[in-house]
Structure 1
Amino acid sequence: MMHNLHERPIIVQSDLLVLLDESKPMAQQAREKLVLFMDAVKRAGSIHTYRMTLLTLWNAAAAGITADEVVGLLTKYGRYELPFQAEATIRKLIGRYGKLWLSSESGKLMLHGEASIIDEVITHQSIMSCVTMRSEATACELNDSCRGALKQELTRLGYPVIDLAGYHLGEELAIQLKNRTLSDRSFVLREYQQAAVELFYKEGTVQGGSGVIVLPCGAGKTIVGIAALARLGRATLILTSNSTSVKQWKDELLDKTSLTDPEVGQYCGTLRQVRPVTIATYNMLTHRKSKDAPFTHMKLFSERDWGLIIYDEVHLLPAPVFRMTADIQATRRLGLTATLVREDGCAEDVYSLIGPKQYDMQWKTAEAGSYIASVSCTEIRVPLHANKEALYAQASARSKLRLAAENPGKIPVVQQLLREHAGKPTLIIGQYLNQLHELSAELGAPLLTGEVPHQERQQLYDRFKSGQISVLIVSKVANFAVDLPDAAVAIQLSGSFGSRQEEAQRIGRLLRPKAGSNRAWFYTIVTDQTKETEFALKRQLFMLEQGYQYERLSLPHNKNEVAEAAAQ
């Protein structure tokens, strides 16, 4: 029990911003609770700023967290009395969850809710255009084709709707998970994977069948998707981020289920295989010949009677796929991701069209269970190279960031880190191709970018996995869905501005469990006293929210001391 109020770690503001003081006792314990119903916004020194929003509170409500529990936690860890306005807003927003719901009655799509709420929402033309008849004070009959658009619009208006209208079954598929013994490359669902599948499926009731599962990189999101597919036993369309991931999904399906090669199709590159289980890329679906032309391959959504659509890396879902998803709300939908963070503000669409967050495992929880590797994160700040100082002083804001990111002074630090971790499988990751090509020539290490043909790309992955090469330089093409389980060290040279999502995904390349100490190391090299330091703080927010700490090492501005300082 905390007797001294001034030692409590959080301050709650009336606008739903929450300040967490890391220097206070129980700050880590408070953070573990806060992330259940709020998002990180920024940090300044030991003060971390979080915000409660419509979506964070509704996702919490969908997970069974009540307004009383949220208020209780904020009171328990709060330094001051919870502002009345904040408490009232929390209770109002969580109280809206479950007040509107959809059902299917005699083949008709119906919207139900309290009469006063129905009265309020149908004053909006965007909602009224979906209504075919107000059958009673607490129910409206809807146009079937409006199911997705209505859910989107109600979410934007501040009224989440629970979809109980059910799903069509889809084409039946004979599939079973393979049963293996511990001596035969054991494949047994972990307890949390089984729990995630059960929460998604909900015993086949109308309450199950749509939603998002959030698991750390390396914790087996693909396995959860495969288990959900096997549980449903229906034809399935799997959408993922790139052709490498398509192959990985197929390999896992053939390895861990009774499916045979002719039953699993790949729809990417030159392949156009539409089979009972079909795996396609987002890029393929959004391809068109010109800006005004129709999407060439969006017809894939209707080419088979799918019973399930799996959205891998759902945080990457592009806008055209959202629009198609709005039209297929009668098909079960499963989103998989390591982070629901979206930098484009489309998190509402994930919630309304894919479904609420059904399961979320904290990264440190997975680490404690040895399901993922323990990662040490270090930010190394280096001075701007003397030859770039005058150019930097005169550059625009955007050019300043690139100059800082491509700072030649980072190269000696990379070389020192490679010496320090000699022999460990290491990824060097960057944003700018010129920088990566120069580093590749300097180190004599292979470079993998989007320019590399798929077959050659796969050969590099295979050589890295087998240990033939210990250092691989990669562009952002390796941010997502690349299975390099043995990578133990990652060195980040540059990134996409302040992308929290990208930082998490890059660290995720290291999280596969490791033999022995089960340790990994992530280094981000940042040019000191430049715009890059601001973006570095933003990039680190998600990992800080998950309980990770970045050790900061600032190298001297005397370049003769840089290598010596890096060694320390």
Structure 2
Amino acid sequence: MDPSKPLIIQSDLSILLETHHPEFEMLQGKLARFADLVKSPEHLHTYRITPLSLWNAAAAGMALEDMTSCLQQHAKFGVPPAVLTLIRKYTKRYGILRMLHVGNELFLVSDDTVVFKEISAYDSLSKYLSDTRGERAIAISPSHRGILKQELTKLGYPVEDLAAYRSGEFLDIPWRDDDTTDEPFQLREYQKQAVDAFGRVDHGGSGVLVLPCGAGKTVIGIAAMAKASCATLILTSNVTSVKQWKREILSKTGLTSDQVGEYSGTSKDIKPITIATYQILTHRAKKEDEFSHLRLFSEREWGLIIYDEVHLLPAPVFRATADIQATRRLGLTATLIREDGLESDVFSLVGPKKYDMAWKQLETMGWLAKVTCQEVRVPLSLQDRDMYSASEARHQFRIAGENVAKLEVIDYLLRQHPDEPTLIIGQYIDQLEQISAHTGAPMICGNVPHEHREELYELFKKGLLPLLIVSKVANFAVDLPDAAIAIQVSGSYGSRQEEAQRLGRILRPKRNGDNTAVFYSLVSSDTKEQDFAMKRQLFLVEQGYQYEITSWQQEV
């Protein structure tokens, strides 16, 4: 026993980390590579090791010895032998089963004949694993490549996919000559590392890159596309993001506008580079209809499919992805957390995590703004308090979110930051309309035409509009680099992915040289909103941000 050390390792694979220890920040970064943060109270953070967290760490290149030595060197009471055994067991399972091509045939292979016998005994797999070729190889149908990986992951045997990928339709994608641009462009070092990590293994071609909002995931995707030199389908979250991808592609490569198509509700252009929304792919007139737009996956000989914001991938797109495993797949995201719990499907069908970069590390390097996170707890107004007490549980969260007492806090915060570009972000349109009327600032929501949205965004970028009120439509892919203050007035139920996106709105370095920003969350105290805010806080804490909580009493 060494009481000076900061970790307590428990037999259920949970880890307690003392937040006031001098090595807290260093260990926070190391643990995040192979364990998930599940609780973050003031004094002790709780992490949990899972098979998936270990497999992602192994796929990203973290050695088993690095994981176990991290725990052994810093454990207050030592590491239970059972914990070390389980870590070794699960980590070594990644790669026991491999998929690869031999000639024109696809094989599932393993050096462990016992594992082969075990998986072959499952009724759910028997129809896929009947063509044995000796004790260490089974020939499988290429059409079963995805479903097999998905099922084997669920059974605890993740497959390392080393099989070949189709080249797809060739397309030369040159970077734009520096001499022809006003601002010479080149990849940052960590962006180069991310692109290299995507194709690091001998048959690299599938995987997920985890980087913060503002780190340039779009540019990384374009670089991967240029390296692959092939027709590419890009799937993203909304029409605003479609247009931003197209602008970035045209500004940073030698491609022309007639080579880049948009596939959305208003446009159906299929070009060598095609950018589509998840919404259009899963659109159908009636529930019983087919997802007709999923045919886009087979409209061209795509050599690469990019899943932007892969944590939002809808279930029907997962099913389509299972059928195209011979096509290279790149997932981009700020967080692997999914609200539906389908992280294992991202792992097996899009690919394992190949690279991640800590938010605070990029902040230290100067690529992200230095953000202060502050939760302001606001008592319910008398009117809302009575309504809250008389309402059913499912209505209480919204009442707390729309607490009218938050208007007074907004006024105070705007006075505290009079000359700084500010976003007010919320969930409920009625609340945002009230704030818009109260402040005189324009509001952007789903009903605002895209052309008008772009006009308002442009005015904000130019400094002609200091305050902008936005709904959840601005959670994703909105490039407002000079936003310095974000005031979150309401949000989804404990959504860590939403917290990531909203924080991302103010993370970009500021062009005026003041590389600081503040992220405020207004939370109704002693309500369900406060309970869910603790879940959202997890994301900020796991990224290394200090999270300060204050109570509103006529002053913050």
- TM-score of the pair, normalised by structure 1: 0.96
- Superposed CA deviations along residues 139-186 of structure 1, whole A, max 9, x for unmatched, are 111122110000000100000101111101000002111232698302
Structure 1 runs (4+) greater than 4 angstroms displaced? none
- Superposed CA deviations along residues 422-462 of structure 1, whole A, max 9, x for unmatched, are 12111100011111111111111101101111111111111
Q: Which amino acid aligns with 2:162?
A: L
Shift in Å, 1:402: 1.2
Q: Which amino acid aligns with 2:306?
A: I
Pairing partner for 2:406 from 410, 413, 416: 410
Say if 2:174 is the partner of 1:176.
Answer: yes
Q: Which residue of 1 aligns with 2:492?
A: 496
Contact map agreement 2:237 2:277 (CA 8 A) in 1: yes
Shift in Å, 1:291: 0.8
Contact map agreement 1:131 1:143 (CA 8 A) in 2: no
Partners of 2:143 and 2:237 lie apart in 1 by 28
Q: Which residue of 1 aligns with 2:255?
A: 259
Contact map agreement 1:8 1:25 (CA 8 A) in 2: no
Partners of 2:93 and 2:20 lie apart in 1 by 36
Q: Which residue of 2 aligns with 1:245?
A: 241
After TM superposition, the structure 1 = structure 2 runs for residues 478-493 of structure 1, keeping only pairs within 5 Å, are: 478-493=474-489
Deviates more, 1:537-546 or 1:64-73: 64-73
Q: Which amino acid aligns with 1:365?
A: Q
Partners of 2:149 and 2:68 lie apart in 1 by 28
| Partner-residue secondary structure (3-state), 2:87 | helix
Q: Which amino acid aligns with 1:479?
A: N
| Partner-residue secondary structure (3-state), 2:156 | coil
After TM superposition, the structure 1 = structure 2 runs for residues 71-220 of structure 1, keeping only pairs within 5 Å, are: 71-113=68-110, 114-180=112-178, 184-202=182-200, 205-206=202-203, 208-220=204-216
Shift in Å, 1:409: 0.8
Q: Which residue of 2 aligns with 1:548?
A: 545
Q: Which residue of 2 aligns with 1:59?
A: 56
Partners of 1:49 and 1:250 lie apart in 2 by 42
| Partner-residue secondary structure (3-state), 2:209 | strand
Contact map agreement 2:409 2:552 (CA 8 A) in 1: no
Contact map agreement 2:40 2:541 (CA 8 A) in 1: no
Shift in Å, 1:555: 1.8
Partners of 1:542 and 1:253 lie apart in 2 by 31
- Superposed CA deviations along residues 320-376 of structure 1, whole A, max 9, x for unmatched, are 100000000000000111111111111001100111111100000100111111111
Partners of 2:75 and 2:132 lie apart in 1 by 46
Contact map agreement 2:108 2:140 (CA 8 A) in 1: yes
Pairing partner for 2:274 from 256, 274, 278: 278
| Partner-residue secondary structure (3-state), 1:339 | coil
| Partner-residue secondary structure (3-state), 2:332 | strand
Shift in Å, 1:465: 1.2
Shift in Å, 1:66: 2.2
Aligned residues: 554
Pairing partner for 2:517 from 520, 531, 539: 520
- Superposed CA deviations along residues 465-502 of structure 1, whole A, max 9, x for unmatched, are 12221111111111111111111110000000101111
- The percent of aligned pairs where both chains have the same amino acid is 54
| Partner-residue secondary structure (3-state), 2:292 | coil
| Partner-residue secondary structure (3-state), 2:411 | helix
Q: Which residue of 2 aligns with 1:440?
A: 436
Q: Which amino acid aligns with 2:29?
A: E
- TM-score of the pair, normalised by structure 2: 0.98
Q: Which residue of 2 aligns with 1:336?
A: 332
Q: Structure 1 residues 182, 74: closer, same or farther in 2, change over 3 A?
A: farther
Q: Which amino acid aligns with 1:305?
A: E
Pairing partner for 1:300 from 264, 289, 296: 296
Say if 2:4 is the partner of 1:38.
Answer: no
Structure 2 portions without partners, runs of 5+: none
Deviates more, 1:474-483 or 1:130-139: 130-139
Partners of 2:40 and 2:190 lie apart in 1 by 31
Partners of 1:153 and 1:508 lie apart in 2 by 35
Partners of 1:90 and 1:220 lie apart in 2 by 34
After TM superposition, the structure 1 = structure 2 runs for residues 413-424 of structure 1, keeping only pairs within 5 Å, are: 413-424=409-420
Q: Structure 1 residues 509, 125: closer, same or farther in 2, change over 3 A?
A: same
- Superposed CA deviations along residues 237-271 of structure 1, whole A, max 9, x for unmatched, are 00000000000000011100010010000111221
Partners of 1:60 and 1:429 lie apart in 2 by 34
Q: Which amino acid aligns with 1:21?
A: E
Q: Which amino acid aligns with 1:69?
A: D
Say if 2:374 is the partner of 1:378.
Answer: yes
Q: Structure 1 residues 183, 148: closer, same or farther in 2, change over 3 A?
A: closer
Deviates more, 1:500-509 or 1:180-189: 180-189
Structure 1 portions without partners, runs of 5+: 557-561
Q: Which residue of 2 aligns with 1:319?
A: 315
Shift in Å, 1:396: 2.0
Give the RMSD, CA atoms, in angstroms.
1.3
Shift in Å, 1:512: 1.1
Shift in Å, 1:298: 0.7
Shift in Å, 1:22: 0.6
Partners of 1:176 and 1:318 lie apart in 2 by 32
